[in-house]
């Protein structure tokens, strides 16, 4: 009999893309599987999930606003309302299992599932579990993780190390270097650094690169620079006219992430869990600049999980504008260090995480 599965969560691409990957894997195992997503109204999952071909229901829920206590005045009412709506969703859809991938909607939906004795699986993407996931983990049947040491937060018997699902198209880099060089109109004889700040962009990374463009040019290094949505216009107005002849390629968003990875000799990136999962499969030297603007500084903890195994170099956000350019050139020109980073990050990659997680979901289903 085909199963009915609810997948809850979202808020960022780092939650949504793995969720969709798990849904796709479930459909691959059994095309008759019925899948319903539950997200947060106004968040990006309400657009991305239907675009991927799945139905989604929204909850009126938000996170705790640290910047303004006044904004939290209605939060208790939203939580209660979201739990009640989640109970109604569960009653109507009658799921055999529920999956939580993190994000605002996961809490109310998984709590409602526990009240109705519906088995659920938690997919903890980061190396440091947040308050909500630690609470939800107590009643989870399985907790799928990507990093070692997660028994600090969850019962060891429930933990399955699966890695994080990735966009398969993004990490398919094998044999694509020549195609990538042609695609970005690069010089095959020069080294290339890829700068990735996420779909919205990373101000620190952008400021660091802007300050160091002349240094890169003098060093004969090419740059593929993904600025993000918020910063592209101002950056292209300032540097766009000289980008082609100077070896600087500036993009708001990289539609061919596989070719960007394939062209790169060094990658500079934030340290979101999804990005790290991709980098471990791409197997290039990496400098991580964790975002400080995330709950419980989890990006730094994600980065340290690699740094402690000599699989990446870390530069703190507060030091990046002063140090990133010089460090990038230093790493790029240190052949032995690059070999070490590649050898070690290769050991941390997980292929087929989406399929493994999907199988675990079906194992716990009623």
Annotated binding site for UDP-N-acetyl-alpha-D-glucosamine: 12-14, 126, 167, 199, 299
Alpha helix (H) residue ranges in 61-202: 75-93, 106-115, 131-137, 168-171, 177-183
Residues 275, 302: Cα–Cα separation, whole Å: 10
* Dist. CA 52–CA 317, nearest whole Å: 34
* CA gap 277, 200 in Å, rounded: 19
The stretches of the chain forming alpha helices (DSSP H) are 13-29, 45-51, 75-93, 106-115, 131-137, 168-171, 177-183, 203-219, 232-239, 243-246, 257-263, 273-282, 298-307, 317-332, 335-346, 353-364
Cβ contacts of residue 176 below 8 Å, gap of 6+?
258, 259, 262
Strand partners, 4: 34
Token look-up 């419980």 returns 296
**How do 4-8 and 34-40 pair as beta strands?**
parallel
Strand partners, 59: 40
Distance of CA 365 to the CA centre of its chain: 26
State both tokens at 36.
Answer: 């319903």
DSSP letter (8 states) at residue 293: S
Alpha carbon 70 to its chain centroid, in Å, reads: 30
The token duo for 98 is: 């529920």
Structure tokens at 319: 């030091």
d(CA 11, CA 26): 22
The pair of structure tokens assigned to 274 is 């999804």
| Cβ-based burial of 167 (10 A; exposed 0-12, middle 13-18, buried ≥19) | middle
Q: Which residues are annotated as a binding site?
A: 12-14, 126, 167, 199, 299
């Amino acid at each position: 009999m085909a199963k009915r599965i609810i997948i809850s969560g979202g808020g960022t691409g780092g939650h949504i893309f793995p969720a969709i990957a798990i849904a796709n894997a479930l459909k691959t195992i059994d095309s008759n599987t019925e899948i319903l997503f539950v997200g947060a109204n106004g968040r990006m999952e309400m657009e991305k999930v239907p675009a991927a071909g799945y139905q989604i229901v929204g909850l009126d829920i938000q996170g705790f606003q640290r910047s303004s206590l006044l904004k939290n005045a209605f939060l208790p009412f939203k939580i209660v309302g979201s739990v009640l709506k989640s109970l109604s969703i569960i009653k109507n859809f009658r799921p055999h299992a529920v999956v939580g991938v993190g994000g605002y909607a996961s809490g109310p939906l998984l709590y409602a599932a526990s009240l109705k004795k519906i088995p659920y699986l938690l997919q903890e993407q980061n190396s440091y579990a947040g308050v909500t996931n630690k609470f939800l983990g107590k009643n989870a049947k399985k907790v799928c993780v990507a990093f070692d040491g997660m028994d600090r937060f969850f019962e060891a018997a429930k933990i399955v190390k699966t890695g994080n699902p990735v966009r398969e198209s993004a990490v398919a880099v094998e044999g694509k270097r020549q195609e990538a060089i042609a695609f970005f109109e690069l010089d095959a004889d020069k080294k290339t650094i890829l700068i990735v700040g996420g779909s919205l962009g990373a101000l620190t990374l952008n400021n660091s690169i802007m300050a160091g463009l002349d240094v890169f040019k003098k060093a004969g290094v090419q740059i593929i620079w993904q600025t993000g949505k918020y910063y592209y216009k101002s950056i292209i107005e300032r540097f766009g006219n000289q980008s082609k002849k100077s070896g600087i390629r500036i993009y708001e968003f990289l539609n061919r992430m596989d070719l960007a990875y394939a062209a790169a000799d060094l990658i500079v990136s934030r340290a979101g869990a999804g990005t790290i999962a991709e980098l471990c499969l791409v197997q290039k030297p990496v400098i991580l600049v964790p975002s400080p603007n995330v709950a419980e500084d989890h990006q730094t903890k994600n980065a340290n999980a690699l740094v402690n195994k000599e699989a990446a170099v870390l530069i703190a956000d507060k030091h990046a504008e002063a140090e990133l350019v010089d460090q990038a050139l230093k790493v790029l020109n240190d052949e032995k260090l690059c070999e070490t980073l590649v050898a070690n990050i290769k050991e941390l990659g997980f292929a087929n995480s989406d399929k493994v997680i999907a199988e675990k979901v079906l194992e716990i289903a009623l």
